């Protein structure tokens, strides 16, 4: 293994849409969802909506079919495969759910690239209904972070990962949403934050530049993500140390090894 943990958000980072909205839109349930959203937390409402879809006769197979055609930029899967081939430890931290994420990653053929998926539990119950539960059981105890929704604090997940890798590994974190701001504040010097340009976490980082100790590299689409992520990895791992020789070919054909200084400049606070 290399000394790098790459942590991906899922919605609008690995895939190009929000998986919850995608499923509801495709199955014609968005109007009801939007009507009920002011009345309960997002995560609890998703569970309720899966019950509604079940009542309407929509099956798990229908949901899987919708998930299997989710939009994804064509360079994202190659980027993930290359990062995995270079020996990085890849993980997902997402406020979607295990059923959506597992289904999509398996369909894309990249499930085995990830050592861990941290997200809300999603499972099919005895009646064939998809249930979506909170990552933190906030009915029992609150996670205590006021930046994050009650069901999940991604920063807590980062703290656990940091404790297990004991400062020996550098973290690269990729995300787009407001929920990715809390974990980006947990990163330390030597880590890298890759916020999606013009998305909520990017704006929050621009406005609070001093609270993020990691070096920040913005990206706009899957092509950008692939180029910047693989350049960062190549700048951290000496090529000769890559345990998988195929990784050399993957890197050689895409870009030359570039020193960090040659990368696009970290983003700055606009005045």
Residue numbers at the binding site for Mg ion (CB under 5 A): 9, 11-12, 176-177
Radius of gyration, CA atoms only, the chain: 19
Residue 12 or 170: which CB sits closer to Mg ion?
Answer: 12
Length of the chain: 271
Among 148, 157, 187, 229, binds Zn ion (CB under 5 A): 148
Q: Which partner from the list Mg ion, Zn ion, none does 155 bind, CB cut-off 5 to 8 Å by kind? A: Zn ion
CB of residue 74 to Zn ion, shortest distance in Å = 33
| Residues assigned a catalytic role | 9, 11
For position 178 contacting Zn ion by CB under 5 A, the verdict is no
Residue 181 or 251: which CB sits closer to Zn ion?
Answer: 181
Known binding residue 221? Answer is no
Q: What is the side-by-side strand order in the sheet with 192-195?
A: 114-120, 89-97, 4-8, 170-175, 192-195, 215-216
Q: In Å, how far from its chain's centre is CA 86?
A: 19
Known binding residue 137? Answer is no
CB of residue 37 to Mg ion, shortest distance in Å = 17
Known binding residue 198? Answer is no
Known binding residue 20? Answer is yes
Residue 83 or 148: which CB sits closer to Zn ion?
Answer: 148
| Chain position carrying tokens 């197979």 | 61
Q: Which partner from the list Zn ion, Mg ion, none does 176 bind, CB cut-off 5 to 8 Å by kind? A: Mg ion
Rounded Cα distance, 14 and 26, in Å: 19
Q: Contacts with Zn ion in 6-35 (CB under 5 A)?
A: none
DSSP labels, 127-184? TS-EEE--SS-TTT-----TTS-TT--HHHHHHHHHHHHTTSSEEEEEE-SGGGHHHH
Rounded Cα distance, 174 and 108, in Å: 19
Pairing of strands 170-175, 4-8: parallel
Among 67, 117, 132, 153, binds Zn ion (CB under 5 A): 153
Which residues of this protein are in contact with Zn ion, per CB under 5 A? Answer: 145, 147-148, 153, 155, 182
């Amino acid at each position: 293994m290399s000394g790098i943990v790459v942590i991906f958000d899922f919605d609008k980072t690995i895939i190009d849409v929000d998986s919850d909205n995608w499923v509801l839109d495709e199955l014609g349930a968005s109007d009801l969802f939007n009507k009920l959203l002011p009345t309960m937390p997002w995560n609890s409402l998703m569970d309720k909506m899966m019950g509604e879809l079940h009542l309407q006769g929509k099956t798990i197979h229908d949901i899987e079919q919708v998930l299997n055609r989710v939009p994804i930029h064509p360079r994202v899967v190659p980027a993930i495969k290359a990062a995995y081939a270079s020996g990085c430890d890849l993980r997902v931290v997402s406020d979607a759910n295990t059923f959506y994420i597992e289904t999509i990653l398996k369909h894309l053929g990249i499930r085995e690239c990830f050592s861990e998926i941290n997200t809300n539990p999603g499972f099919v119950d005895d009646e064939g209904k998809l249930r979506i539960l909170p990552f933190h059981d906030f009915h029992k105890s609150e996670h205590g972070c006021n930046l994050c929704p009650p069901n999940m604090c991604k920063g807590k997940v980062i703290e656990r990962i940091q404790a297990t890798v004991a400062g020996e590994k550098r973290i690269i974190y990729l995300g787009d949403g407001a929920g990715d701001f809390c974990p980006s504040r947990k990163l330390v010097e030597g880590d890298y934050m890759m916020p999606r340009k013009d998305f909520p976490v990017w704006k929050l980082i621009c406005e609070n530049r001093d609270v993020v100790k990691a070096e920040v590299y913005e990206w706009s689409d899957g092509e950008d993500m692939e180029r910047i992520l693989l350049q960062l990895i190549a700048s951290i791992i000496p090529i000769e140390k890559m345990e998988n020789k195929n990784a050399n070919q993957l890197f050689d054909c895409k870009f030359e090894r570039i020193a960090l200084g040659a990368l696009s400049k970290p983003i700055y606070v606009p005045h």
